[in-house]
């Protein structure tokens, strides 16, 4: 199938060379993927630990077409190779055809057919004359070698008329020896170029390749972990129509729908597309309780609509903020609402008569976990009117880990050894740090009356009395008061009995 190049950008990364048995050499980052006979494989990886992922070994064989045409050296006497390429490009545009994946050039002029055959031969392309006794004297020159040779011809000759260049629908069959014979760390960083295509896949130097390295869910969209995550937003403009359809299903049980647990619904793009008013109205109209977690101050626009919806269904509103210090915020979160703006959002929500909980997340070891900083931040949240606070230490999933580590090494290199120690086990901070942070924030939350738990329901909601140290969305998650739709006490007790009776409770947080 065909795919369009949607974006491209340059980066600098550690380089690795992959050498194949047919002489092909590919230089790529360790996170780049190629299609092998045993599925997609990264250039480098590990069997265990945080770097665990499928990776190339010398037992692998890549799928593809083999090497494309190499650069040609001009012949010392005429005709030159550039002249021959021009001849073939012109004759293909004028007399070429492609049928059933076979390229032919037809001409009734014997001399032209001879020059055509000679150009094919001199350029190393596998073409043969077809012996046909046609009444009109037309002779055909046919390019053999299947898809591999056809692509070599396209790369070498580059015809202007593209209908003879398409390979859509052609099976990838090749006799090229694409066994991996070596993977080498080049020991240096060098410029590399990333592209995004419609399918995510493309042919790179004769092998099927795939670009996929991202922060969190951005890798599902074939976008990169740094600039793309910060600047590229894919908008599902039909979300309201789809939501109406799903909410109208007889099987829908009006379960809690959580917005913002994966991507922020009030990013800048919402100002243009105005999707959330339709989402809010659809959920309220269907009698479906919902919650919103955001750092976007654009939510203020919809406060009248949310206040009206709260009279029909239970709703919860959560605001996330990580940093009170303006300078650190600009360094780590450029382009997003400031901490002060988010505190004003909390105040506006509560002034509208709605409840609101705050996720103080993530707490950055050595940067935002000093007692004075935590006290100032929690006091400011309480003054803004929040009903509760959940304090969450930094969580470094693959993708986010690489991006944050680069920022830390650049801005605070003295902290790198400490982070390596704290996150030695993977994405979650070491248990001893969790316990230390919980003990530090517990009296501060109690002092300001922010240690209450949500009365709603969600996967991972902790029992009363537990310390708020969970990662939202994980099994040990805790949610502050106001962030979840309120559930009547009787319903809460019934839900607790149901969870006790069933080992596998149904999911109650639905991601849109």
Do 17 and 120 share a structural domain? no
Give DSSP secondary structure letters for 104-151. EEEES-HHHHHHHHHHHHHTT--EEEE----TT--EEEEE-SHHHHHH
pLDDT attached to residue 164:
56
pLDDT: which is higher, 310 or 63:
310
Task: Answer yes or no: do 394 and 330 share one domain.
Answer: yes
Contact indicator for 511, 257 with CB cutoff of 8 Å = no
Q: Say how many residues make up the chain.
A: 512
Which residue is associated with the tokens 């055959």? 117
Angle at the Cα of 275 (from 344 to 313), degrees rounded to 5? Answer: 70
Q: Is residue 268 part of a domain?
A: yes
To the nearest 10 degrees (0 to 180), the angle between helices 276-285 and 239-247 is 10
Res 264 pLDDT > 70: yes
| CATH number, domain containing residue 346 | 3.80.30.30
Would 225 be classed as within a structural domain? no
Encode pLDDT of 204-236 as tens digits.
665 656 543 334 555 555 665 556 666 677 788
- Residue 425 counted as domain residue: yes
Task: Tell me the C-alpha distance between 506 and 512, whole Å.
Answer: 17
Strands 207-210, 257-259: pairing is unpaired
Residues 120 and 42 in one domain: no
Domain count for the chain, please give it: 3
Instruction: Return the number of other C-beta atoms located less than 10 Å from residue 85's C-beta.
Output: 17
**208/294 same-domain check:** no
What angle, rounded to 10 degrees, do the helices at 431-447 and 371-384 form?
Answer: 50
pLDDT at 78: 64
E strand residue ranges, 261-411: 290-294, 315-321, 357-363, 388-393
The set of residues, in sequence order, having a beta carbon less than 8 Å from that of 1 and lying 6+ positions away, is 168, 169, 199
DSSP string, 255-296: --EEESSSS-TTSHHHHHH--HHHHHHHHHHTT--EEEEE--
Answer yes or no: is 360 within a domain: yes
Is the same domain home to 13 and 94?
no
Q: Are residues 12 and 127 in the same domain?
A: no
230 Cβ contact list (under 8 Å, min separation 6): 334, 335
CATH no. for residue 148? Answer: 3.10.28.10
- For the cut 50, the answer to whether the pLDDT of residue 282 exceeds it is yes
- Residue 468: pLDDT above 60? no
Q: Which of 164, 193, 223 is the last residue of a domain?
A: 164
Same domain, 183 and 303: no
pLDDT at 279: 97
**pLDDT band at residue 400 under the 50/70/90 scheme:** confident
Q: Would you give the end-to-end CA distance of the chain in angstroms?
A: 29
Going across the sheet that includes 25-28, the strands are: 25-28, 5-20, 180-197
Q: Do 298 and 384 share a structural domain? A: yes
Structural domain boundaries, residue 28: 5-67+176-212
Per-residue pLDDT band for 23 (boundaries 50, 70, 90) equals confident
Neighbours of 308 (CB within 10 A): 12
Residue 206 in any domain: the answer is yes
In this model, does residue 448 exceed pLDDT 70? yes
From 130, 164, 198, the end of a domain falls on 164
pLDDT higher than threshold 90 for residue 72: no
Confidence tier at 200 by pLDDT (50, 70, 90): very low
221 within a domain of the structure (yes/no): no
Split at pLDDT 50, 70, 90, the class of 504 is very low
For the stretch 132-171, pLDDT in tens is: 656 666 777 777 766 666 667 766 776 665 555 555 555 5
- Which among 34-43, 60-69, 469-478 has the top mean pLDDT? 34-43
Round to whole Å and give the CA distance between 172 and 169.
9
As a whole number of angstroms, the distance between CA 41 and CA 204 comes to: 15
Do 396 and 429 sit in the same domain of this protein?
A: yes
Q: What is the pLDDT of residue 502?
A: 35
Q: Are residues 369 and 437 in the same domain?
A: yes
**Is 227 among the domain residues?**
no
Within a domain: 198: yes
| Average confidence score pLDDT of the chain | 76
Instruction: State whether 339 and 439 are in the same domain.
Output: yes
pLDDT score, position 206 = 57
Rg (CA), the chain: 30
Q: Are residues 206 and 249 in the same domain?
A: no
CATH number where 60 lies: 2.170.16.10
């Amino acid at each position: 199938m065909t795919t369009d190049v949607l974006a491209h950008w340059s980066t600098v990364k550690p380089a690795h060379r992959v050498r194949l048995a047919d002489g092909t050499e590919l230089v790529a980052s360790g996170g780049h993927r190629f299609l092998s006979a045993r599925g997609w494989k990264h250039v480098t990886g590990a069997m265990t630990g945080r770097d665990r992922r499928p990776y190339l070994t010398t037992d692998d064989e890549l799928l593809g077409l083999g090497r494309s045409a190499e650069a040609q050296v001009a012949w010392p006497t005429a005709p030159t190779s550039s002249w021959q390429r021009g001849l073939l490009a012109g004759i293909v545009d004028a007399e070429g055809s492609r049928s059933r994946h076979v390229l032919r050039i037809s001409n009734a002029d014997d001399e032209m057919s001879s020059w055509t055959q000679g150009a094919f031969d001199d350029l190393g392309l596998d073409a043969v004359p077809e012996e046909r006794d046609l009444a009109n004297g037309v002779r055909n020159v046919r390019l053999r070698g299947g898809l591999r040779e056809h692509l070599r011809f396209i790369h070498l000759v580059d015809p202007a008329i593209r209908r003879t260049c398409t390979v859509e629908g052609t099976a990838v069959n090749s006799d090229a020896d694409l066994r991996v014979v070596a993977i080498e760390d080049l020991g240096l960083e060098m410029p590399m170029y990333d592209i995004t295509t419609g399918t995510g896949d493309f042919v790179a130097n004769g092998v099927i390749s795939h670009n996929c390295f991202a922060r969190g869910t951005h890798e599902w969209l074939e976008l990169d972990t740094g600039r793309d995550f910060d600047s590229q937003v894919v908008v599902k403009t039909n979300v309201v129509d789809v939501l109406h359809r799903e909410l109208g299903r007889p099987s829908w049980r009006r379960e809690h729908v959580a917005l913002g647990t994966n991507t922020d619904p009030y990013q800048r793009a919402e100002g243009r597309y105005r999707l959330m008013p339709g989402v809010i109205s659809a959920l309220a109209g269907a009698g479906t309780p919902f919650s919103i977690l955001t750092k976007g101050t654009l939510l203020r626009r919809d406060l009248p609509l949310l206040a009206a919806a709260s009279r029909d269904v239970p709703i919860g509103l959560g605001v996330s903020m990580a940093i009170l210090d303006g300078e650190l915020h600009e360094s780590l979160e450029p382009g997003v609402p400031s901490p002060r703006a988010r505190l004003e959002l909390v105040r506006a929500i509560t002034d509208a008569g709605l409840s609101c909980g705050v996720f103080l997340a993530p707490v950055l070891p050595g940067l935002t976990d000093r007692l004075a900083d935590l006290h100032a931040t929690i006091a400011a949240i309480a003054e803004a009117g929040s009903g509760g606070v959940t304090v969450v230490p930094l969580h470094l999933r693959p993708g986010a880990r690489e991006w944050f580590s680069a920022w830390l090494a650049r801005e605070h290199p003295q902290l790198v050894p400490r982070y390596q120690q704290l996150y030695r086990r993977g994405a979650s901070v070491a248990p001893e740090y969790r316990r230390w942070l919980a003990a530090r924030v517990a009296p501060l939350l109690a002092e300001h009356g922010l240690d209450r738990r949500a009365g709603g329901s969600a996967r991972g909601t902790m029992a009363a009395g537990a310390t708020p140290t969970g990662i939202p969305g994980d099994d040990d998650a805790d949610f502050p008061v106001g962030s979840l739709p309120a559930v009547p006490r009787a319903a809460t007790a019934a839900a607790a009995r149901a969870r006790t009776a069933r080992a596998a409770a149904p999911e109650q947080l639905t991601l849109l």
